[in-house]
Amino acid sequence: MTGVSDTPGPLASAHAIAAGVRAGTFRAREVLEEHLARVEALEEDVHAFNLVLADSARMAADAVDADVAAGHDLGPLAGVPVALKDNLCTRGVPTTCSSLILGSWKPPYDATVVQRLASAGAVVVGKTNLDEFAMGSSTENSAFGATRNPHDLTRVPGGSSGGSAAAVAAAFAAVALGSDTGGSIRQPASLCGVVGAKPTYGLVSRYGLIAFASSLDQIGPLARSVRDAALLLDSISGPDPADSTCLQDDPPSASARLEGGVEGLRVGLVRELAGAEGISPDVVACTRDAAEALSGLGAKVDEVSLPAAVYGLSAYYIIAPAEASSNLARYDGVRYGMRAANHGTDAADITEMYLRTRSAGFGAEVKRRIMLGTYALSAGYYDAYYGQAQRVRTLIIRDFEAAYETFDVLLAPTAPGTAFELGAKTADPLTMYLNDVCTIPSNLAGHPAISVPFGVGDDGLPVGVQVLAPALGETVMFQVAAALEAAAPPVALPSILSAGRTG
Cα dihedral 138/139/142/146 (nearest 10): -100
- Report the 3 state secondary structure along 51-86: EECHHHHHHHHHHHHHHHHCCCCCCCCCCCEEEEEC
Name which of 434, 444, 437 is nearest 400 in CA terms.
Answer: 444
Question: 415 to each of 134, 459, 464, how far by Cα in Å?
Answer: 17, 15, 7
Does 160 participate in catalysis according to the annotation?
yes
The set of residues, in sequence order, having a beta carbon less than 8 Å from that of 154 and lying 6+ positions away, is 148, 421, 422
For residues 106 and 432, what is the distance between their CA atoms, to the nearest angstrom? 31
119's enclosing H/E stretch is helix 112-119
| 3-state helix vs strand vs coil in the chain, percent to 5 | 40, 15, 45
| Strands 49-52 and 123-128, bridge-based pairing | antiparallel
Q: What are phi and psi of 219, to 5 degrees?
A: -90, 140
The set of residues, in sequence order, having a beta carbon less than 8 Å from that of 71 and lying 6+ positions away, is none
Q: Quick one: residue 491, left, alpha or beta (phi over 0 = left, psi -120 to 50 = alpha)?
A: beta
The single residue of 98, 137, 138, 160 carrying the catalytic annotation is 160
The single residue of 85, 127, 198, 425 carrying the catalytic annotation is 85
Write b or e for each residue in 149-182: b if 16 or more Cβ atoms lie within 10 A of its Cβ, otherwise e: bbbbbebbbbbbbbbbbbbbbbbbbbbbbbbbbb
Write b or e for each residue in 463-502: b if 16 or more Cβ atoms lie within 10 A of its Cβ, otherwise e: bbbbbbbbbbbbbbbbbbbbbbbebbeebebbebeeeeee
Does 179 participate in catalysis according to the annotation?
no
Does 314 participate in catalysis according to the annotation?
no
The single residue of 13, 184, 190, 235 carrying the catalytic annotation is 184
For residues 93 and 7, what is the distance between their CA atoms, to the nearest angstrom? 29
Pinpoint the alpha helices (H) of 309-408: 312-327, 350-361, 364-377, 388-404
For residues 128 and 130, what is the distance between their CA atoms, to the nearest angstrom? 7
Q: What is the CA radius of gyration of the chain?
A: 22
**Widest distance between CA atoms in the chain:** 72
What is the per-residue DSSP string for 133-183?
Answer: GG--SSS-S-TT----BTTBTTB---SSSHHHHHHHHTTSSSEEEEEESSS
Burial zone of 343 (CB within 10 Å; 0-12 exposed, 13-18 middle, 19+ buried): exposed
Burial zone of 429 (CB within 10 Å; 0-12 exposed, 13-18 middle, 19+ buried): middle
Give me the active site residues, please.
Answer: 85, 160, 184
